[in-house]
Amino acid sequence: MKSLRTLAPLFWKYRGRLFAGIIFILLTNVLAVFAPALVGEGINALKDAHDSYLAPGAEISDDSFIALPEILSKVGELTGLDEIWGGEIETKSDVHRLVVLIAILQAILYLITYLIKGIFLYYTRQTIIVNSRLMEYDLKEKIFSHYQLLDTRFYRSNDTGDLMNRISEDVSRVRMFLGPAVMYTLNLVALIVIVVGVMVSIDLKLTLYALLPLPLMSIGIYIISSRINELSDSVSASQSNLSTFVQQHISGIRVLQSYHKESQAATRFEVETDEYKEKTLKLVKVEAMFMPIIVLLVGLSTVLTVYVGGTQVMAGKLELGHIFQFIFYVNLLTWPFASVGWVTSLVQKAEASMARILVFLNTKPEISEPDENTVSASSPTNTDPGLIFSNVSYTYPDTGIEAIKDISFSLPPIQTLAITGRTGSGKSTIASLCMRLIDPTTGQIFNDCKDLKETSLKKHRNKTGYVPQDVFLFSDTISNNIGFGKKNGASLDAIKHAATLAGVASDIEGLKNGYDTILGERGVNLSGGQKQRISIARALIRNPEILILDDCLSAVDTSTEKHILNNLSSKNISRSTLIISHRISTIKHADLILVIQDGQIVERGTHSELLTSSGLYSAMNTQQETGSKDGI
């Protein structure tokens, strides 16, 4: 339980609820033991009364009534009968009425006992199980918060499904330990101490025989539970594969239908479902053994109790009611003993799940907030304002590909810098470096005279507006998607203004629900150009000091593109803009244009300067103009 010991702070945080739960467990078990004792002593009293006064041949005499107080004393303390019965016993009819009264009082008291026990059991679950839900919430919140700190390299190395599994299925397994496993363990300990103590006080020999099959039941349940867990993991994996298959084919339904691959998809789906069905049926067969083992061993325990107890009664060493009392106790201990195997299985699964969770929680982000002492002690290493790259290179650690090599440039305040180049030249890597989503392998990046590594991530990203190449929209309203860019939310007027600057206001207002339109998954009910412009509006509403546009106008027609760029340039009084694009029409008005090839700057200058150089930029411009004239 090395991994589970890390949950100790959560137990301590909710120690009040846990302590209350322990108290309720003790009270519940005291009442659970009291009810069979009530039945057992009541049967003994009724049998004695019957044998002494009501059995055929029994005669009422003054001497015979001497024994009656002794009979009543057996149940008097439990039922208060001696206080309720105030009359004298003179005839068999009086004895008969007394016996009936004993039975009625016992039944009423038995019901009241179980009613109170039910109330305590309710509060047991309201403390310990609710406690586990609170701890589950805290654990999920901790994992999610940590996920937000991890960098892009982590997310490139781990599947989304695996990350979701950690925060859902693995946390759920840990919760089963925090709640049911803890509750049943405490219940088992309390019940064994109280019940076995009472049983031993009645008859040690009968106790040993009655409890003999229960450890065997625990072992059997443990073996079956282990097999069930093994098969459950296999079923879960198969179900995950099936869900992934369905999700991919639903998401790509247009491609599937376009290529007329429905029949092949149906065949593959049938294979996946058959595998899932076979594994599920195996699991069901093993689960079917669970209850028969419990019933068999409980039956064996009952038979031993009746047989050994019967011999003790015939020998005069035990009373008849105690056999009934022991049968109740055996059934009372059945599920707690059966739960030993189940709880052990829960602990094993929770340990494995917590170990997987800790792997992620112990992962340190490569991109993190700088140490405050280091930041305060550091001094500027560059005196030029703005965003500056100084001999920056970056190699992707997973692939070893050197994306950019020894790049240097500056983006002064209130200037527009454009970067262009062919696909795969390293343009988007520069955007990621500017946002400090990744750190350079060598070289330095400065902003406002300070190295980005020594600048607060929060402050740096708060004053930048980033529109990535791969647009992502939430399944929410359009207004909330645009307002997402504002830290504390945005007014409708501000959202509309940002949409106007991004050239998407008329498109939104043309929709039936306007800005309240709910977007489908990743904005599936919008065109590519509309999604890009909403993403631009999301960045503009922040009113950033630095605006970074990473090829985010590729799906926009030239007329709309010109409108957006005019809006950006007219409002670019207090903003630096970095535009990354392969389209010359998007960047030709920039103050400086960098041309990237194979991760290196091969040309730099204004649009007119680069056209006269007859280099790569000029060739790209000619190619795009030719394509435009040809209607491409």
Same domain, 236 and 331: yes
Report the CATH number at residue 354: 1.20.1560.10
User: Is residue 311 pLDDT above 70, yes or no?
Assistant: yes
Average pLDDT, integer, range 466-480 = 86
State the chain's mean pLDDT as an integer: 81
**HSE-CB of 315 using CA atoms within 13 angstroms:** 8
Mean predicted confidence (pLDDT) in 26-45:
79
pLDDT of residue 573: 61
The answer to whether residue 363 scores a pLDDT higher than 60 is: yes
Q: Residue 64 has what pLDDT?
A: 44
Q: Could you report the per-residue pLDDT of 312-358, keeping only the tens digit for each?
A: 888 878 777 788 888 888 878 777 777 777 787 788 778 888 888 88
- Please name which of 333, 306, 322, 330 lies closest in space to residue 42, comparing C-alpha atoms: 322
Both 168 and 275 in a single domain? Answer: yes
In a domain, 581, yes or no: yes
Do 553 and 620 fall within a single domain?
yes
Structural domains in the chain (count): 3
Please compute the mean of the pLDDT values over residues 270-297 and round it to a whole number: 83
Average pLDDT estimate for 139-158: 84
* Mean pLDDT of the region 68-73: 49
Q: Is residue 44 part of a domain?
A: yes
Same domain, 14 and 142: yes
Residue 63 binned pLDDT confidence (cut-offs 50, 70, 90): very low
pLDDT of residue 136: 92
Percent of all residues in the chain with a pLDDT value above 70, rounded to a whole number? 86
pLDDT score for 227? 81
Q: pLDDT tens digits, residue range 500-537?
A: 888 888 888 888 888 888 887 767 778 888 888 899 89
pLDDT computed for residue 54 by the predictor:
57
| Pairwise pLDDT comparison (20 vs 400), residue with the higher score | 20
Q: In terms of domains, do 317 and 335 share one?
A: yes
Q: Which of 98-107, 216-225, 420-429 has the lowest mean pLDDT?
A: 98-107
Whether 37 and 128 share a structural domain: yes
Least confident piece of the model among 230-244, 457-471, 542-556 = 230-244
User: How many helices and strands in the chain, by DSSP H and E?
Assistant: 28, 10
Q: Please identify, among 509, 543, 577, the residue that sits at the C-terminal boundary of a domain.
A: 543
For residue 393, what pLDDT band results from cuts at 50, 70 and 90? very high
* Same domain assignment for residues 569 and 607: yes
pTM given for the model: 0.72
Contact present, 236 and 169 (Cβ < 8 Å): yes
pLDDT at 391: 92
Q: DSSP letters along 299-345, please?
A: HHHHHHHHHHHHHHHHTTSS-HHHHHHHHHHHHHHHHHHHHHHHHHH
Which pLDDT does position 20 carry in this prediction? 93
Q: Do residues 311 and 195 make contact, with C-beta atoms less than 8 angstroms apart?
A: no
Q: What is the mean pLDDT of residues 466-470?
A: 86
- With a pLDDT cut of 90, the percent of the chain lying above it is 12
The 10s digit of each residue's pLDDT in 180-232 is 999 988 988 888 888 888 888 888 888 888 888 878 877 887 788 778 777 87
Looking at 338, 361, 384, which one is the last position of a domain?
361
Does residue 366 belong to any structural domain of this protein?
no
Q: Please report which confidence band the pLDDT of residue 159 belongs to, taking 50, 70 and 90 as the band edges.
A: confident
Same domain, 437 and 333: no
- Which pLDDT value is given to residue 52? 62
Write the pLDDT tens digit of every residue in 576-624: 889 998 888 888 888 899 999 988 999 999 999 898 888 899 988 888 8
Residue 259's domain comprises 4-361
Instruction: Tell me the CATH number at 445.
Output: 3.40.50.300
For residue 129, the model assigns a pLDDT of 92
Q: What type of residue is 269?
A: F
Alpha helices, H only, 166-289: 171-176, 182-191, 197-202, 204-211, 213-251, 253-258, 262-287
Residues 51-77: b if buried by 16+ CB within 10 A, e if exposed = ebbeeeeeebeeeebeebeebbebbbe
Q: What are the C-alpha distances in Å from 629 to residues 178, 588, 617, 624, 632?
A: 69, 18, 18, 9, 7
- What does the pLDDT read at residue 602? 92
Is residue 87's pLDDT more than 60?
Answer: no
